[in-house]
Amino acid sequence: MDLHNTDDAVTRRVKAITERVAHVKANDLYFYNQPVEEVLPGMKVRVRGREMGMYASYSYLGLINHPRINEASKKALDQFGTGTNGVRSLAGTLTLHTELEETIANFKHAEAAVTYSSGYATNLTVVSTLMGRGDYVFSDKLNHASIVDGCLMSGAEFRRFRHNDMEHLEGLLKNAPTDIAKLVIADSVFSMDGDIIDLPKTVELCKKYNAWLMIDEAHSVGVLGAKGTGIEEHFNMYGGIDIKMGTLSKTIPSVGGYVAANKDIITYLRHASRAYIFSAALPPAQAVAANEAFKVILDEPWRIERLNQNTKQFIGGLKGMGFDTMLTETAIVPVLCGTDEMAFAMTREAQHNDVFVLPVVSPAVPEGLAPGAGSLVAALRASTEREPSVTIGKPGAPMFEAALRVVGTQPQHTLMIGDRLNTDIEGAAVLGLATALVLTGVSTRAEAETAIRPPDGVYDNLVALLSAWGSAL
C-alpha cells in the first residue's frame, strides 16, 4: 500500500510517529537506539566514540561482564551450541533449563518455576492464561504495559486501582462478585517511579476477599532485601504472594522471564500458556548466565549494600539540587522534566557532558505541555533568548495543590475532569485525585486505554459524565 496516497487510521498513526521522529532528529534530540560500542570497567560505556558514565542501565548490581557468569556461558556454548532444538514442551528443553528453574524456585522460596523467552511475554501469557471471561483482575494504575496488555488479552473484567491506594483497591474488591475468580496484580518496584507496592496491605486484602496475588518483581530482584531476593525479604513476609513473576534481563544479565509459584500452577502454565508452548527455548548460554547470576547475588551480598549506598547518595544529591525524583526509594530514580521537549533537552545536555542517560517520553509516559503554558514559554524564550529554568503548570503538583487549597478539599474526595491525559489526568492522578477524561478535547479513548496513568472513567462529554457520576456527586 502506498502511504502517500492513503488516508486511513493506520496511515495517520504511522505518519504521526515518523514526523515526530524526523522533527526530533532534525533538532539533534534523538537518543534512542544508540549502539553501545564497548562496555568498560566502572559502569562506563563507549558510545559514538566517547566514554560515558552509564546511568540508564538496569544492571543494578553491575553483573554484566562478571567473570563467573561469562565463563559459565562460554562452557554452555561449547557444550550445547548457540540454540536449542525447538520449543520447551517438545525438543527444546535442556538440562540447563531445568537447573535454572530449580535455582529460581529456591531463590524465590517457591515450590517450582517456569521460564519464558522474555519478561513481556511472561506477563502477557500468565495473566491471559490464568484469567478469562467472567473473572475479575485488579491492576495498579502504574503497572507495566505488559501487565496491562495481559489483563486486556485475558477477557476478564479489568479494574484499575489508584496507585498504591489500598482503600481504593478494597472498594473494588468489595464490590466484585464473591463467586468468581479474582486476581490482584502489581509491580513490586514501579518501573517509572521507583516506589514500592504496599505488600503487607495488599496481602491482607487478597486474603480477606479471597483473591489471588501476582507480583511483578522485574525491578526488585537484586534490589530489595539484604540478600537481594526481592520484596518478600524486604518486608520479611514470605508466603503471601501466589505468583511471583520476574525477568532475566535486568539485575540478571541475560534474557527472558520467569514465574515462581506452587507446583500445580507451574504445571498448568507449562501445558496451557501459549508463550511456553509456542516460543523457542532460551539459548543455552543465556540460560546458564541467568542461573549463575542468581548464585552470584547470594555469594556477593556486598553488591546490594553498595547499590543501596549509591542509591541514597544519588537521590539525596538530586533532591539537594532541586530536582523532583517523585516518591522513589529504589535504584529507579526518575527526574521529572515536565515535558517531552525538556526531557530531550536535558538528555542532550547530560550526554554532551558524558553522562549517559535517556529520556522516557510519550507513549511510555504522557506527552506534551498544557496548551497555555507552551505558548507562553515559547514567547518568553523567543523574546529573552533564554531557556526557562523552572516551568510551573500541569502536570506539575504545585498547580493541583494550589487548587485543593482554594477549594478546601482533600485529594481522595476530589474529582479532576479534563480532556488531556498528559496534563489534567496525569497531574491529578499523581496526587491521588479521582480522574475523569472527557473526549471533547485532545486525548482519545484509545490513548486512555494504554496510558501509564489511565483515568478512572472515560466519557464522551460532560453530559455523559454527569449522568454516570450524578448519584455520587
413 catalytic residue (yes or no): no
Grid coordinates representing 223 are 534490589
pLDDT exceeds cutoff 80 at 5 = no
In this prediction, residue 372 carries a pLDDT of 38
State residue 392's pLDDT score. Answer: 58
C-alpha 209: how far from chain center: 26
In three-state secondary structure terms, 405 is helix
Average pLDDT over residues 373-383: 43
* C-alpha cell belonging to residue 383: 523574546
Q: Does residue 219 have an active-site annotation? A: yes
Mean pLDDT of 217-237: 97
pLDDT at 159 over 70: yes
Whether 444 has a pLDDT exceeding 50, the answer reads: yes
Same fold for the pair 67-299 and 362-473:
no
The yes or no reply on domain 67-299 and CATH 3.30.465.10 is no
> What does the mean pLDDT of the chain come to?
89
Residue 88: its pLDDT value, please? 94
**From 108, 163, 219, 244, active-site residue:** 219
Rounded Cα gap, residues 85 and 177, in angstroms: 46
pLDDT of 384 over the 70 cut: no
Kindly tell me if the per-residue pLDDT of 389 is higher than 60. Answer: no
Annotated catalytic residue within 128, 146, 188, 191 = 191
Q: What is the Cα Rg of the chain in Å?
A: 23
What is the domain partition of the chain in residue ranges?
Answer: 1-30, 67-299, 362-473
More confident position, 18 or 400: 18
What would the pLDDT profile of 26-45 be if each residue is shown by its tens digit? 888 899 999 999 999 888 99
Q: Please give the CATH number for the structural domain made up of 362-473.
A: 3.40.50.1000
CA-to-CA distance for 426 and 78, rounded, in angstroms?
Answer: 51
* Catalytic option among 250, 254, 279, 443: 250
179-218 tens-digit pLDDT: 999 999 999 999 988 999 999 999 999 999 999 999 999 9
Q: What is the pLDDT of residues 297-356, one digit of tens each?
A: 999 999 999 999 999 999 999 888 888 888 899 999 998 887 888 888 889 899 999 999
- Is 163 designated active site? no
